[in-house]
Chains A and B, each alone.
Chain A
Amino acid sequence: MSTPSRYWREIPQRYRLEANKCNRCKLIFFPPRLLCPECKNRDLEKTKLAEKGEVITYTIIRVPPAQFSDQAPYAVGIIELKDGVNLTGQIVDCAFDDIKIGMKVKLEFRKLFEQGHAGILCYGYKFVPD
């Protein structure tokens, strides 16, 4: 089990969707990087991702990794947010049959998993129907 540092470090991204915007080519990207993936510029500013978007592809995970074994089956999709950023995340609070490409979703704060019975609780974003 990793120390909490690894979790803690990602809090701005996972809790608040903090991203970067390139001051040259204006690309918004997530998670933040030290240089723009498109134009390699290092002059970047902090921004927040849009909290709404639509499903561009999805799957239902029925054979989960160990940490998610209590949750299966669950849906995971790639969501194109309104600012053009694509994000991978679970789609919850709807029947699997209702999930469609093009479906409108919004972000909600949820618990992703627990580090065993005694470890830290790991929070972040998931998507719910909008």
Chain B
Amino acid sequence: MEGIIGYGAYIPRNRIKVEEIAKVWGADAPSYKRGLMLEEKSVPSPDQDTITMSVEASKNALKRAKIDPADIGALYIGSESHPYAVKPSGTVVAEALGVTPEAHTADFEFACKAGTEGMFVALNLVKAGVIKFGMGIGADTSQGAPGDALEYSAAAGAAAFIFGRDKIVAKIVDTYAYMTDTPDFWRREYQYYPQHGGRFTGEPAYFKHVTGAARGIMQNNDMKPEDFNYVIFHQPNGKFPLRVGKMLGFKKEQIEPGWLVNKLGNTYSGSSPLGLAATLDIAKPGDMLLLVSYGSGAGSDAFIFKVTDRIEEVRNLAPLTRDLLDKNKNYLEYGEYAKFRRKIRKAD
């Protein structure tokens, strides 16, 4: 039996409210809040990036897994904001955790799906018997161009999952992947901010792939929405995951525990993984979970997990995701946010 043996989250403490951003661009905050179902988003400090958040989320995962980091055979980080264009994030994280040198690492990039890609590969390497433990991390300090709709949602956070065969917290029932070439969102080399296709990111992109993956994995396992206690979708804004859930026949109560986006924003590669971490925080032994990510470009990974008795033992060994989200917040004004996110042009 394979599955998650430890999980951990990390969210920076800085927040900015939708009103604070809207004020600068003369936008109508109430309509943004209604339209996107967003209230505020997390913002990394200047000393935080995909690497540092990955380390902290991984340390929390290790606290729950209680294994020797040196036994981890593969460590994958999915992000669209790897700090280096060339040079892996994974080596830094592996070195900080004590995973080196006998391990495989790779940095994944597939817009917001890169995190679950890392999880997918790490998990399946464990399943294949190639490694004893594998780690998949989704982390991002995503950027939205000033004044663009993305600026209201592009947030920062990380979640890490350790997979193994013993002492499982959530057993893996099945995985599934669904993808086509759909250019709904991209960032060219040397460009600072991403571009997107506006409303094209909806129906032919997010909704098509998320429903495709969800239906595919449910069909393969002969399961229906009511067979799951909880479902976690990628959360680019508040509305999309709720709407896609409704399209598939899920109830709001199944979605809500992992629906963090209204207070967190879109943490890109960290988005659905953080939703999964928050759901594990409240799940009971025997609960069935469906995770469906989405990455522009475009594709979705789907996972079915069955929570085990061990969840009760490990849950409180590391910070709960909702606590990271709700406690110790520090609200920024736009000027400070612009400085933190390097949106101010300074002298060389």
Contact = CB atoms under 8 A, between A and B. Distances in A.
A111 B95 contact: no
Contacts of B95: 11, 15-16
Given A109-B55, A123-B96, A71 B46 contact: yes
B226 interface: no
A92 B47 contact: yes
B45 interface: yes
B51 interface: yes
Nearest to A48: B98
A85 interface: no
Contacts of A15: 92, 95-96
Given A71-B46, A92-B45, A123-B51, A109 B96 contact: yes
B47 A111 contact: yes
A113 B45 CA distance: 12
Contacts of B346: 70
A112 interface: yes
Most buried by B among A11, A92, A93: A93
Contacts of A26: none
Nearest to B346: A70
A21 interface: no
A62 interface: no
Interface residues of B, number: 21
Given A93-B13, A121-B83, A121-B84, A111 B49 contact: yes
Interface string A1-45: 000000000010001100000000000000000000000000000
Question: Main SS of chain B's interface residues?
Answer: loop
A103 to B, nearest CB: 14
Contacts, number: 48
A110 interface: yes
Interface string A69-92: 011000000000000000000001
Contacts of B328: 93, 129
B47 A112 contact: yes
B40 interface: no
B96 A110 contact: no
B56 interface: yes
B56 A108 contact: yes
B48 A111 contact: yes
Contacts of A16: 95-96, 98
A70 B46 contact: yes
A65 to B, nearest CB: 16
Interface string B310-348: 000000000000000000101000000000000000101
Interface in A43-77: 70-71
Contact of B56 (A11, A109, A129): A109
A91 B49 CA distance: 17
A70 B47 CA distance: 11
Interface of A: 11, 15-16, 70-71, 92-93, 108-112, 117, 121, 123, 126, 129
Closest 5 pairs (CB-CB, A-B):
A109-B55, A15-B96, A110-B47, A111-B47, A109-B52
Given A111-B52, A121-B83, 8 more contacts: A16-B96, A70-B346, A92-B47, A93-B328, A93-B330, A109-B96, A110-B45, A121-B49
